[in-house]
A = this chain, B = another copy of it.
Amino acid sequence: MDLIKIGKLAKSASEELSKLNTDTKNKILLESAKALLENQENILMANKKDVQEAIKKEIRNAFIDRLTLNEKRINEMTQGLEEISRLDDPVGQYIQNKTLPNGLIVGQKRVPLGVVAIIFESRPNVAADAFGLCYKSGNAVILRGGKESINTNVAIVNVFRDVLRKNNLSENMVQIIMDTSREVAQELMRLDEYIDVLIPRGGVALIETVVKNSTIPCIHTGVGNCHIFVDEFYDVKKAVDIIINAKTQRPGVCNAAEKLLIHEKIADDFLPTIGKELLERKVEIRGDKITLEKIIGAKEATEEDWSTEYEDYIMALRIVKDLDEAIMHINKYNTKHSEAIITENYSNAQKFLNEIDAAAVYVNASTRFTDGGQFGFGAEIGISTQKLHARGPMGLKELTTTKYIIYGNGQIRQ
């Protein structure tokens, strides 16, 4: 496994890619979408092999569901690439351009990052989305998917490489790492000479490994231990609707709510109400002492529960004495993703918005909206939960950096 060679090929392909204009890039994206459909049979066959392997290994159902492709999912990948072709190209946009008193013209222009590496788990659609977004933003991409989806990922990436080759472009604008061992992943994280940015997409363990080992600047994405706080002054219908939506509409994703904090003054009324609604939808309730008293069938929450992202039909409930305690609890245990307050009180809403430390903070709305598509940015490559570079849903713009372009006519510094 010659990773340095992969890095060099990517670097060189990224230089070629950075010079392409938007029309050319859109043409490749549309041809890639078409080619995905044309090669559907091949991709599904490769996927079947992966799925059968996974079943043999008795991997859990939720994982197999995410791994499995069908015509509908391939269609979605195709539509994703078409949609990316319609988005504005950020490359070449000027953020500012001004003439200084000495006559220097100083412009700040968006340029591609260069080479982006993405380490992802299970879902093969990430291969198509990542290629589309990186390609449109002018970046060569190195993909390293999970070992369970290797056949599918290779089949998908080969479709794109064929399209590039047929257009006399370097196929190395997209590469996939065939060796899915941990050792190679670790080596990849130290390839800072060739890779400009590393984006891990997966669970807590993957993120932690990357933070600890990577010498490449990283963007942490997508771990979401999201909270909803129901304030003393609340509308019960909004509270129930939002909690049920945030918890159950799609529990396996990062913007689903995992924790529910309730103001003690409304605990007697609201706990039985929400308890019934959650239990009816087969949500396991874990709770503190008061919760256990008020909701029959709730289990006791442990300290570990407060920092766990379940990604499942489980919700932990806690009674807090006021807004301050709610804010303190959230800022202590959250993963800086999405947090919501249900309140009819103006000052409490503003305080929550100001003092909660997270990528997205909501008043009276479901945390499930934290998503590039929902926010109207088109596609997204992930949701950043860090503070540097990008925070929240990341689209094309977040896959670029800037460059100062200075036009002079002989200026020297005094």
Contact = CB atoms under 8 A, between A and B. Distances in A.
Interface of A: 15, 19, 98, 100, 104, 106, 108, 113-114, 192, 196-197, 211-212, 215, 217-219, 235, 237-238, 241-242, 244-246, 249, 353-355, 357-366, 368-370, 374-376, 386-389, 391-392, 401-413
B376 A408 contact: no
Contacts of A387: 113-114, 196-197, 217, 401
A252 B365 CA distance: 55
B406 A363 contact: yes
A410 B365 contact: yes
Contact of A212 (B104, B215, B386, B406): B215
A238 B410 CA distance: 5
Interface centre among A242, A354, A368, A403 (most CB of B within 10 A): A403
Contacts of A19: 354-355
B235 A410 contact: yes
A369 B104 contact: yes
Contact of A359 (B106, B365, B403): B403
Nearest to A359: B404
B364 A242 contact: no
Nearest to A358: B403
Nearest to A400: B387
Contacts of A374: 100, 413
Given A369-B411, A388-B388, 20 more contacts: A100-B375, A106-B375, A114-B387, A197-B387, A217-B387, A241-B410, A242-B410, A249-B412, A249-B413, A358-B403, A360-B406, A361-B403, A361-B405, A363-B406, A363-B407, A364-B409, A366-B412, A366-B413, A369-B413, A391-B403
Given A387-B401, A388-B388, A365 B406 contact: yes
Given A358-B403, A360-B404, A242 B376 contact: no
Contacts of A413: 245, 249, 366, 368-369, 374
| SS of A interface (majority) | mixed
B219 A406 contact: no
A360 to B, nearest CB: 4
A403 B392 CA distance: 8
28 contacts: A19-B355, A106-B375, A114-B357, A196-B387, A217-B217, A219-B388, A235-B410, A237-B410, A245-B412, A245-B413, A246-B412, A249-B412, A249-B413, A359-B403, A359-B404, A360-B403, A361-B403, A362-B406, A363-B408, A364-B408, A365-B408, A365-B409, A365-B410, A366-B412, A366-B413, A370-B404, A387-B401, A391-B403
A232 to B, nearest CB: 18
B369 A406 contact: yes
Nearest to A327: B15
A406 B361 contact: yes
Given A19-B354, A114-B387, A217-B386, A411 B196 contact: no
A402 B388 CA distance: 9
Contacts of A411: 364-366, 369
Contacts of A388: 113, 197, 217, 219, 388-389, 401
A230 to B, nearest CB: 13
A163 B358 CA distance: 31
A408 B239 CA distance: 12
B386 A391 contact: no
Nearest to A113: B387
Contacts of A362: 406, 408
A392 B402 contact: yes
A96 to B, nearest CB: 10
Contacts of A197: 387-388
A140 to B, nearest CB: 13
